[in-house]
Structure 1
Amino acid sequence: MESYLAALSATIAAVVSVMNYHQSVSMRKDRIKVSLWPISFEARPGLDLHIINRRSHKTQVVDYGFIDDEGYLHSMVVLSELGELHSSDTIVSGSTLMVEPSDFFEFGVIESPVDNVCGAYAKTSYSDKLFFMISSNLPFHDRLAIRFKLYKNMLSRFLTGSILYK
């Protein structure tokens, strides 16, 4: 009887340790929500994207931008570094370094350098994952086609080393 109790307690301890390990690993992953709509309710022209932190650790957003209808990424960080996006044309609220859950970063551009915008994306410093959102105003089959084009572009970039940004 004692050997059964010892085996049962060892099994329970093993299951609990695996669950704790899984929880500790998953809590280190970045988790953000990207949206194409502004947080504020003020009406303004142009495009907006906002990013919300959903984890309790520091999250640094290193790249963000818009997705066109061909599935290409248009980085607003790259455009501003190249001088094609002026600070007078942009509206920025929040910080790209988000510390607490529900911290946000909002970026708006008055005159869009991107044609046919249908989504937004962001990338964090600790994750290889691309967080993105396709507009819900599009029909389902169009959203599916854009998602397929985006994955196709990402795969071709991975296989050939070509650039994903347009």
Structure 2
Amino acid sequence: MTLPVQAQFALVLQSVLLGAGLALFYDSLRAVRIYFRLGSVKTALCDTVFCLVMLAAVFEFAIARAAAQTRYYVPAGAAAGTWIYFTLLGSAVRAGWFAVLTAAETLRRWLKKERAKLHALLCRAANVEKITGFTKKFAKPPSIFRRKGLK
């Protein structure tokens, strides 16, 4: 089954978007991997996740969009989309990811510090020994029936 020229052109543009989307996903994983300095095992895990996502995306694209036929301009369009992404947007997106990850790390550290301050403040305000002393002082003596085992 042949596609009209307009449908083939639309398919090329969609494959360019597929390549750019996969490059964005790879760049996101790469920014996380670089920022957190993941070891070789976690890097391999990230690469495996990317390969599985890419395989699923390309398979679905080939079945749903390319009508399960071999069209050599589809991988060429995906490669062009990847090249366009890395040429035009790659460094800006990576810098954005680093800014977001740095802000999240700063917020996490600030919340940890504030949590420690709040805990110290509550411990000082509560003064656990004072409260237990008051509860012992004002507690009712046990009933005489309880001493004999009756309820």
TM-score range, shorter chain: under 0.3
Kindly name which structure, 1 or 2, has the bigger radius of gyration based on alpha carbons: 2
Q: TM-score normalized by structure 1?
A: 0.23
Bigger proportion of residues as strand: 1
Q: Which has the higher contact order (CA 8 A, sep 6+)?
A: 2
Bigger proportion of residues as helix: 2
Q: TM-score normalized by structure 2?
A: 0.25
